[in-house]
Amino acid sequence: MKLKVKSWKLKSEKGSVLLLVTVALTAILGIVGLAMDAGQLYVTYQQAQAAADAAVLAGAMDMYNHTGFAAGAFGGGAIVCVANSAQSPCVYAQLNGFSPPDTVTIQFRACHIPPGVGVLPPVFGGAGSLICATVSRVVPTTFLRVLGIPPSTVTATATAAIIGGNSLTPLLITQPTLSGALALNSGSSILKLCGGPNIGIQINSNSATAVQNGGTVDLSQGGPNDNGTCANGTGSSFRVVGPTPEPDGILLGATGQYSSSVAVVADPLASVNPPGQPGAAPATSTIKVTGVDGCPAAPCTLYSPGTYPAGIMVSNSALFAPGIYYITSGGFQGQTGGCMAMATGFTDPATGWTGQMMVYNTGGGTFGTSGTFGQGCVQNSLVGSPSNSAYEGILFFQDRNSPLLLHNFAGTGSFALNGTIYMNNANPAQYQTLNLAGGPVSVTGEIIAGSLTLNGGTLTMNLAPQQTSAKQVALVQ
């Protein structure tokens, strides 16, 4: 009798264990199933987010460059991407794996702007500088369906904008392989920066001898604590892509740093389009009375904007009315006895500029000066395009497709340039060299050139704390 009772208990315990194991296995499989479905949803969300980011960045680059789908889409309603769409946001969503039956919607005006984001005013055809995308996919589930949970819709959103931002450096040397991309070849050569952002100089050359300094590079008054007066700066930094040891003669101040083997900095003005060629410039006129139209000492020659097929050669006191000067041959030169200044009392009807100009130089000529250019001038200064214009403060704009050229500022006089000197080629083998020798040169603005050499003389860059700026495309949400 006892044996029968014990046998019954053993069978009962076996049944209980089997039930417990079944319940436990079911729970474990459920947890694993939930984890698998949740993982699938998470991966899909990450993929959708990448597609949304790519879509808005592609559309924003079209806005930035004034190209592609943007010409017909800005300011319109929502775009719903269809299969094999040629519109760049849709193309990039598809390249990231999202096309019908997925839903990809692009909008312009209904985008949320996060607090603190400084979106620029409309930049193309009166439309906008903001683009957003919503990317959705229905994801079927496996184990969740057993629990009665239907397929889930995964949605990701992204917003990109053209925003204002500071360029990384006031002095950017762009040639990627050149030895001596920045060269100070004389003990009397001085390159000095006052104010500006924390990074003062960037050399993109990867050569171990990218910097050759036989003079002085003075960044001790650089940085945002100074307003360009060289009175309150604490130092700005010097960066070079090549593995270049820090040369002698670089003064960094208390807060500046020297760094080599750093990343290349892209041209912040690469998206600025050259101006269209205007009609022929009017003939020059002579101002015979001192003070008229800003003439510092009569007689003065008055130049007007337009196309100059033989270039501009200044050999006396010259005044420049505001606008765009388009040089197709001969360059823009100051010769012995030359003196340049902005004319007063004019507004250019084509650009709306007052007291501002830009010189676009093509056809193989160069910018430069020679002899005693500027010696004894009452005024000797030019002012570049407005910083909020399509030309973003450029004063001298060299054709990006020019052959390799030397722009030689070698006069013994002094002069001031208020604006950006922009000499960056699309083909790095055809780089532009800016050479300074002789009298002091003051630049208030950015210098972007293939290479820079100083053979005596002083180049001073006077910059407000955030003087140099450029538009940029960015994800803002």
- pLDDT at position 34 is 63
Same domain, 132 and 251: no
Cβ atoms of 181 and 172 within 8 Å: the answer is: no
In which element (H, E) is residue 152 found? strand 152-166
Same domain, 104 and 244: no
C-alpha to C-alpha distance for 110 and 410, rounded to whole angstroms:
55
Same domain, 195 and 154: no
Same domain, 396 and 345: yes
- pLDDT at position 385 is 96
Picking from 149, 165, 181, the residue at the C-terminal end of a domain is 165
Cβ atoms of 202 and 100 within 8 Å: the answer is: no
Same domain, 461 and 384: yes
Domain assignment of residue 196, yes or no: yes
Q: In Å, what is the CA distance from 116 to each residue of 53, 165, 476, 477? A: 20, 13, 10, 12
Q: Could you read off the pLDDT tens digit of each residue along the chain, which spans 477 residues?
A: 454 545 445 455 555 655 555 555 555 555 655 666 677 778 888 888 888 888 888 887 777 666 665 444 555 567 889 888 888 889 888 888 898 988 888 887 667 665 555 554 444 333 457 788 899 998 877 666 666 667 788 898 888 877 665 555 799 999 999 999 999 998 999 999 999 888 899 999 999 999 999 999 999 999 989 888 889 999 999 999 999 899 999 999 999 999 999 888 888 888 899 999 999 999 999 999 999 999 988 899 999 999 999 999 998 899 999 999 999 999 999 888 888 999 999 999 999 999 999 999 999 899 988 877 776 676 678 999 998 888 989 999 999 999 999 999 887 777 788 999 999 998 999 999 999 887 788 888 899 999 999 998 899 998 876 544 556 666 776
Total-model pTM: 0.69
The domain tally of the chain equals: 2
Q: Domain limits at 114?
A: 17-165
Q: What residues have CB less than 8 Å from 149, skipping those under 6 apart?
A: 141
- pLDDT at position 239 is 92
Same domain, 231 and 270: yes
